[in-house]
Structure 1
């Protein structure tokens, strides 16, 4: 494998609206990001992914872009953005942005011109189609609920949107549109951007006949992903995109890909893949309900272990995946992947260690490094997220009571990840001096950066040690390029794996059970590199004795990182 500049990097996702507000309007901003660069550097971060900061009406929190060349005034100015780039560069840090090019906002100039002339040039930047017998052109349900087709006022046509009706899909079959998108991408890369996280990109390839499919619900519609799954040829579009943009800049790209076909991983992230990397969503897919969140059960440990293990074994045959516990579209990982008895600092550190020492690019989401958890939501009116409101409606239509539907949203809503970062125990968690745009998680008085800064045993300081270990001169090679080898898979509660090169072997072993377990070591131990538990003289001597006798005792929620012979 050719070594790339980004292989050994640790990335951090910022959702700017909820990161830090510096002007008191209740919305995070770019100046807030700039002010925390030293904090992120101390954490060990090399690369920052900014969720969208482009001009937008924020129907879908900035993923509906009205101007690809402008910064939303809520976040600041282009001068602020340029300063962020410059300050990051001073610290040897990289900035990547969200690239949202499957769709744009209905407020974008292109779409407004298309509406003004539904038979003109700009209409072909989108998918304008005539209806069938007074109905939409096909029976697709959008990702946010309701038909994918919206009437074009004053005509017998509809336009296509896989997300909200305010997010019309762009027609990637139009070479003029593609070139305009490429020009925009290159403009940002010329500015000094290091690359992009690429949103919902698999959706750009459409079946232009838009055929009907067998309905999958009582509404007579079918999830629009059925069409994405059924069409071929997205690779040709992705190669065209790479060739005209990223490849010329040696840019880092990480794809958000959900509908990739089973045998296509190498095409996406192999040596000459469409992207540098793509997110591993295998664990997150375990809580997908067939008809909605209300059918999603809790994550089972063995399923979670198998999902991560299989993803690791598959990815290392061809490239590097990006490993996440959570992001802006998912509930908090501590609340999702840990049993209730492990939703504490020890369990939080354990989950972090498993994820960050895997093979691939670690992505940390804002607040994850202090163990932020799901909030408690008392009413559907407290939520902002368009998808959550749709899922609440689906649950109610399925017969759930208000209380039951609300409980589902409490567990699954992506607003859980969007509550403002908890910087301190001061009012509004130190996020804003104004009224926050979304409620603050009430547990901010216990879980916050300021408290953890001063506590050597805190989750935050553990994250710092964990990342420092991954990046240390002695172990960077094995944690970057070492093989992933699963271990102790026969156990009921242990998640364990080796990272191995020809000269080093590291064991990462975690006990997810309520009860202690003891493992028989398969190789002699050299030293303990990291533990998530407070050491005591008694435990130190007990562990030393155990290692001498080739056994490894693990308390409940304990994880140990060992260097072995």
Structure 2
């Protein structure tokens, strides 16, 4: 494997709206990000990914872009972003932007021109089709519920939106559209950003011509992913984009790619892949039901282990996955993967270690480093997220009571991760002096950075040690490039694996339950590199793991 500048980096996702507000309007901003660069440097971060900051009407939290070349005034100005890039570079930090090119906003100039003349030049920038007998062109359901087709005025024409109706899909079959997108990407790379996280990119290729699918719910519609499974040729678009943009700048790119086939992985992240990396979503999609969130199955510790290990085996010898436990589209990882009633600081540290030292690029999401948990919402009215509100309606339509539907969606809501960052125990968790756009989690008085910064045993202090260990010169090559080998898979609720490099063998082992577990090693270990307790049990080749104990052992 040819070594790349990003292989040994640690990345951090910022959801700007909820990170740090400096002007008191209740919304985080770019100046807030600038003010926290030293904090991120102290934590050990190298790459910062900003969720969308472009001009947007915010129908889907900025993922509906009305102008790709402008910063939304909620976040600040282009001058603020230029300063952020410059200040980051002074600290050897790289900035990634979110690249959202499957769709734009219905307020984008292109779409407004398309509405005026659907049969004209700009109509061809989108998927506009005639209805059938006064109904939509096909029965595709959008990701957010309801038909993926929206009628244009009182005409018999409809436009496709796989997401919100204010997010019309761009027609990637049109080379003029692709050219305009590539020009925009290069414009941003020229401004000095290091690359992109690439949103919903598998959706850019549609199975044409459009047609109906067998309905999978009582609404008579079919999941749009059925169409995406049929499409062929997306890699042609992705490699064209890579060659026209990323490759010329040696940019780091990480794709949001779901359900890629094993034989395609090399095309995505191999030596000549279209992206530097893709996220491993195997754990986040596990247990998901086509019926809706209300029917999802929880992820057990052994399920989690299998998902991680299968992904590691799949990517071995091909390239680097990007490893996460949470992001802006998911609930908090510690609330999802640690069984209910068992969440503790020890468990949070264990989960952090187990995912972080897998082969790949570790990504943290804001607040993860202090162990932020799901929010104890007590009313459906507290949610802002469009997908949460739709899933609540789906659950109600399927016979769940208001209380049952609410319990079903609050566990999986994206708003769990979108509440403000908890900086301290002052009003609004130190996020804003105004009224926050989304409620602050009531646990902020006990879970906040200020307290944890002063506590050597805190989750935050542990993350600093974990990041420092992965970067330590003595062990870096093994953690970055070393072989991954599963261990003790026969043991229930034990997650363990070896990372093996040149003359170096390291075991990462965690007890994924509250009761003690005994492990017999094949030979004695040499050093304990990291530990979430003060003392280790056992002797010689025998480990006696306490509840949610994790050890990183050098042999």
**TM-score range, shorter-chain basis?**
over 0.9
Structure 1 vs Structure 2 CA RMSD: 0.9
User: Which residue of the partner structure matches residue 336 of structure 1?
Assistant: 336
Please state whether the residue corresponding to 1:509 is helix, strand or coil: strand
Residue 328 of structure 2 contacts residue 417 of structure 2 at CA under 8 Å; is this kept in 1? yes
Please state whether the residue corresponding to 2:314 is helix, strand or coil: helix
Correspondence 1:240-259 to 2 at 5 A:
240-259=240-259
User: Which residue of the partner structure matches residue 307 of structure 2?
Assistant: 307
Give the Cα separation in 1 of the matches to 2:481 and 2:216: 43
Please state whether the residue corresponding to 2:456 is helix, strand or coil: coil
Output the TM-score relative to the length of structure 2.
0.99
Deviation at 1:66, TM superposition (A): 0.4
Correspondence 1:6-85 to 2 at 5 A:
6-85=6-85
Please state whether the residue corresponding to 2:134 is helix, strand or coil: coil
Post-superposition CA distance 1:452-475 (Å, at most 9, x none): 011010000000000000001111
Correspondence 1:163-312 to 2 at 5 A:
163-312=163-312
Deviation at 1:384, TM superposition (A): 0.2
Post-superposition CA distance 1:105-134 (Å, at most 9, x none): 000000000001111100000001011121
Give the Cα separation in 2 of the matches to 1:362 and 1:196: 16
User: Which residue of the partner structure matches residue 520 of structure 2?
Assistant: 520
The match for 1:552 among 540, 543, 546 is 543
User: Which residue of the partner structure matches residue 99 of structure 1?
Assistant: 99
Give the Cα separation in 1 of the matches to 2:18 and 2:475: 34
Please state whether the residue corresponding to 1:98 is helix, strand or coil: strand
Deviation at 1:419, TM superposition (A): 0.5
User: Which residue of the partner structure matches residue 475 of structure 1?
Assistant: 475
Please state whether the residue corresponding to 1:79 is helix, strand or coil: helix
Give the Cα separation in 2 of the matches to 1:216 and 1:348: 38
Give the Cα separation in 2 of the matches to 1:523 and 1:139: 61
Please state whether the residue corresponding to 2:7 is helix, strand or coil: coil
Residue 420 of structure 1 contacts residue 440 of structure 1 at CA under 8 Å; is this kept in 2? yes
Deviation at 1:263, TM superposition (A): 2.0
Please state whether the residue corresponding to 2:254 is helix, strand or coil: strand
- Runs of 5+ consecutive residues of structure 1 not aligned to the other structure: none
Give the Cα separation in 1 of the matches to 2:522 and 2:421: 42
Residue 267 of structure 1 contacts residue 273 of structure 1 at CA under 8 Å; is this kept in 2? yes
User: Which residue of the partner structure matches residue 87 of structure 1?
Assistant: 87
Q: Which runs of 4+ in 1 moved over 4 A?
A: none
Residue 300 of structure 2 contacts residue 339 of structure 2 at CA under 8 Å; is this kept in 1? no
Give the Cα separation in 1 of the matches to 2:8 and 2:513: 32
Please state whether the residue corresponding to 2:309 is helix, strand or coil: helix
User: Which residue of the partner structure matches residue 130 of structure 1?
Assistant: 130
Please state whether the residue corresponding to 2:396 is helix, strand or coil: helix
Give the Cα separation in 2 of the matches to 1:500 and 1:73: 49
Residue 125 of structure 2 contacts residue 177 of structure 2 at CA under 8 Å; is this kept in 1? yes
Post-superposition CA distance 1:331-351 (Å, at most 9, x none): 000100001343111000000
Give the Cα separation in 1 of the matches to 2:260 and 2:156: 34
Correspondence 1:533-544 to 2 at 5 A:
533=533, 535=534, 539=535, 542-543=537-538
Residue 342 of structure 1 contacts residue 348 of structure 1 at CA under 8 Å; is this kept in 2? no
- Pairing 1:148–2:148 present: yes
- Runs of 5+ consecutive residues of structure 2 not aligned to the other structure: none
Give the Cα separation in 2 of the matches to 1:23 and 1:390: 33
Residue 229 of structure 1 contacts residue 259 of structure 1 at CA under 8 Å; is this kept in 2? no
Residue 20 of structure 1 contacts residue 432 of structure 1 at CA under 8 Å; is this kept in 2? yes
Give the Cα separation in 1 of the matches to 2:302 and 2:355: 16
Post-superposition CA distance 1:525-561 (Å, at most 9, x none): 111001011x2xxx45x55xx1x2x111210000000
Correspondence 1:445-456 to 2 at 5 A:
445-456=445-456
Q: Which moved more, 1:74-83 or 1:286-295?
A: 286-295
Post-superposition CA distance 1:131-180 (Å, at most 9, x none): 11211111000000000100111421100000000000000011111100
Deviation at 1:288, TM superposition (A): 1.0
User: Which residue of the partner structure matches residue 389 of structure 2?
Assistant: 389
User: Which residue of the partner structure matches residue 553 of structure 2?
Assistant: 562
Give the Cα separation in 2 of the matches to 1:424 and 1:28: 16
Give the Cα separation in 2 of the matches to 1:105 and 1:523: 60
Q: Which moved more, 1:284-293 or 1:359-368?
A: 284-293
Give the Cα separation in 1 of the matches to 2:294 and 2:552: 38
Deviation at 1:523, TM superposition (A): 3.2
Residue 478 of structure 2 contacts residue 502 of structure 2 at CA under 8 Å; is this kept in 1? no
Give the Cα separation in 2 of the matches to 1:258 and 1:202: 7
Residue 225 of structure 1 contacts residue 259 of structure 1 at CA under 8 Å; is this kept in 2? no
Q: Which moved more, 1:40-49 or 1:334-343?
A: 334-343
Give the Cα separation in 2 of the matches to 1:400 and 1:436: 32
Deviation at 1:207, TM superposition (A): 1.8
Give the Cα separation in 2 of the matches to 1:2 and 1:66: 39
Deviation at 1:261, TM superposition (A): 2.7
Give the Cα separation in 2 of the matches to 1:239 and 1:505: 37
User: Which residue of the partner structure matches residue 370 of structure 2?
Assistant: 370
Residue 341 of structure 1 contacts residue 514 of structure 1 at CA under 8 Å; is this kept in 2? no
Give the Cα separation in 2 of the matches to 1:155 and 1:208: 23
